[in-house]
Amino acid sequence: MKHRDWGQYLPFNRKGASTVEYVMILAAILVSALLLSNFMANDGQAMIKDKIMAIINGDLTGDTANGGGTDSQSGNDAKQPSSDIPQPKELATSPNVKPKKEQGKTQKYDRKKAVDYARKWSHKINTDKYEEMGETVDCANFVSQCLVESGFEMNDDWKYKKGFTIPLLDWTIGSDYEHTWTVAHDQFKYFSNKKNGYSEGDPIKITSPKQLRELEKKGIIKEGDLLYWDWEGDKKINHATIITDTKDGELKFSGHSNSRRDTNVYDTFENVRDDQETKDTVIYIVRMKDRVPAKGGKR
């Protein structure tokens, strides 16, 4: 295979070239070198640098009318970006773009599971998972269990961890829990606080059986809503229960500490207020949202 002599194609390497031709070629090279040197000595380096930075930043549209600005500047001679060149997406910090609000994670409140658990365990203790806090103070503990069994997730403000149960004695020690889990008043404050994300509006305060009947007719109370009792009417919650039936326009509840299963709210409220010691009894209903905070959501 023959090797080409690339030099034979260069003008100054042709055989028979005249001396004048050599001189012209050398003169052209010298002039070009002088022009390039002058260009680089003045604004040439800056212009080349600007152009390289423009290319890196995605501005591929060329020079502007004023020579040295970018295409985003005004000017009659400024070139417009080509439609087939992808442009940088507008950042979220732009005044024309509204940042999305961070939404807390939520999950469905399975009311049926809460009601089923309340009915199943209304007259006994689920010792496999929980413990009885006491024969007369187990009401809030039981309501908390109903919510967890419906899918509610515990958090730092409302939690329970069972301790060690001593065999034969059926006595549990070392359990870890918050007052919002076991104390009716603290539990009411926690779930009725709209900032925690569980309640639908403010709690409904009922001061008379007549007012309760009017509420029942509205049909806004659902199974799984929470029912709290204030025996003295002093805004101090004494008892926690859960609504487990709303059929036929009558509210019924279930709970512990005096075990109840689907007990009529109206009849109980009326009987309690007939007692001289509890004649000032007030009840509160916390309407729970159908979607409640999930793990990592608002608490």
pLDDT tens-digit map of 216-249: 999 999 999 999 999 999 999 999 999 999 999 9
Is residue 99 in some structural domain?
no
| pLDDT-based confidence at residue 203 (cuts at 50, 70, 90) | very high
pLDDT beyond 60 at 170:
yes
In a domain, 234, yes or no: yes
Helix, strand, coil shares of the chain, percent, nearest 5, are: 35, 15, 45
Whether residue 196 contacts residue 298, with contact meaning beta carbons closer than 8 Å, is answered with: yes
Distance, CA of 221 to chain centre: 27
- Residue 76, in any domain of the structure: no
More confident call, 168 vs 69: 168
Q: Are residues 184 and 273 in the same domain?
A: yes
pLDDT at 283: 98
**299 or 117, which is more confident:** 117
pLDDT at 175: 87
- 191 and 281 assigned to the same domain: yes
Say what percent of the chain tops pLDDT 70: 64
The whole-number average pLDDT for the span 181-201 is 97
Per mean pLDDT, which range of 86-100, 135-149, 188-202, 232-246 is the poorest? 86-100
**Tokens 């007549």 — which residue?**
210
Confidence (pLDDT) at 194: 95
A 10 A CB-CB count for 281 gives 24
Whether 221 is covered by a domain: the verdict is yes
E strand or H helix at 39: helix 19-39
Residue 189 lies in a domain: yes
- The rounded Cα 156 to chain-centroid distance in angstroms is 17
Strand partners, 161: 176
The one-letter amino acid code at 239 reads: H
Q: At residue 129, does pLDDT exceed 50? A: yes
The answer to whether residue 62 sits within a structural domain is: no
Instruction: Please choose, from the candidates 95, 148, 102, the residue with its C-alpha nearest in 3D space to the C-alpha of residue 121.
Output: 148
Residue-level pLDDT at 262: 98
- pLDDT higher than threshold 60 for residue 143: yes
Same domain membership, residue 144 and residue 42: no
Tens digits of residue pLDDT in 15-27: 444 555 555 666 6
Q: Is the per-residue pLDDT at 10 higher than 90?
A: no
Distance between alpha carbon 271 and the CA centroid of its chain, in Å? 45
Q: Are residues 133 and 227 both part of a single domain?
A: yes
> Are 13 and 148 contained in the same domain?
no
Q: Specify the pLDDT at position 160.
A: 95
Which residues constitute the domain of residue 34? 6-56
The pLDDT of residue 174? 86
Residue 170 — φ and ψ, nearest 5°? 50, 45
Structurally, the chain folds into a number of domains equal to 2
Evaluate whether 254 touches 142 at the Cβ level (below 8 Å): no
Q: Report the alpha-carbon distance of residue 292 to residue 271 in Å, rounded.
A: 34
Domain assignment present for 89: no
Tokens for 161, please give them.
């961890």
**Does residue 139 form part of some domain?**
yes
| Measured distance CA(67)–CA(247) in Å, rounded | 81
Expressed in angstroms, the distance from the first to the final Cα of the chain is 83
User: Cβ–Cβ contacts within 10 Å for residue 48, how many?
Assistant: 12
Burial of 117 (0-12, 13-18, 19+ CB in 10 A): buried
pLDDT digits (tens, 9 = 90+) for 262-273: 999 999 999 999
